[in-house]
Chains A and B, each alone.
Chain A
Amino acid sequence: QKEVEQNSGPLSVPEGAIASLNCTYSDRGSQSFFWYRQYSGKSPELIMSIYSNGDKEDGRFTAQLNKASQYVSLLIRDSQPSDSATYLCAVRYSNYQLIWGAGTKLIIKP
């Protein structure tokens, strides 16, 4: 059974520090990897996607992928209170199938 694992948290990070969120997946056939942010009571929204090994940077966000270790991470630099949310990792295994982690709750302390 395909699985995506995330630490549920909460992960507490001081404002201005780097927040590091991790995700592992079980199936080596996975093709694409996504990070979604979900504020409390709101719907998920895509913040990063990554398809090949290495780092991908977008503003304060960096996604890292290591297919050999079946590991994907999200770094948030200069964390702000507005980054406090639950971060969902999603892995695409086929043309339609996304498998979702349960999410990590991130709290940025002012």
Chain B
Amino acid sequence: DADVTQTPRNRITKTGKRIMLECSQTKGHDRMYWYRQDPGLGLRLIYYSFDVKDINKGEISDGYSVSRQAQAKFSLSLESAIPNQTALYFCATSELAGPNTGELFFGEGSRLTVL
């Protein structure tokens, strides 16, 4: 089984619908992240969390919200999906501190299409 699991892997939805992407991890890491990846662009950070009580906005948080239900679970919600949120979404984890915080462990990705 994957250390970082994302569900769903693929989702097609319509404009205005609420969507939740879920992420769970068995690596025991405190830090969790949500990124989106678009063709021709680098990974962009949506939200990150250092622990259950510490959630922070990334560079492109507008239109998204998150919930850290437990150390191992971090969910991303699109309250009212729009077509430009069509992208590949990745959840990732890392260790809490030290130089290895740049080493991210990614889930398999969730491909979201908003029609």
Binding site for B on A (CB under 8 A): 4, 8, 31-32, 34, 42-46, 49, 51, 88, 90, 92, 95-103
Question: What are 17 A-B interface contacts by the 8 Å CB criterion?
Answer: A8-B40, A31-B99, A32-B99, A34-B103, A42-B108, A42-B109, A44-B90, A44-B106, A45-B106, A46-B103, A49-B102, A51-B99, A90-B102, A97-B45, A100-B43, A101-B42, A102-B41
Contacts between the two chains (Cβ within 8 Å), count: 52
Contacts of A8 in B (CB 8 A): 40
Contacts of B31 in A (CB 8 A): 96
Identity of the chain B residue whose Cβ is nearest the Cβ of A89 in the assembled complex? B42
- What is the bound-complex CA distance between A71 and B41, given in angstroms? 19
B109 touches A43 (CB 8 A): yes
Q: How many residues on the B side are at the interface (Cβ–Cβ under 8 A)? A: 21
The minimal Cβ–Cβ distance linking B64 to chain A, given in whole angstroms, is 17
Binding site for A on B (CB under 8 A): 31, 40-45, 48, 50, 56, 90, 97, 99, 101-104, 106-109
- What is the bound-complex CA distance between A59 and B42, given in angstroms? 27
**Which among B40, B42, B44 has the greatest number of chain A C-beta atoms within 10 A?**
B42
- What is the bound-complex CA distance between A90 and B43, given in angstroms? 9
Given A44-B104, A44-B106, also A95-B43 (CB < 8 A):
no
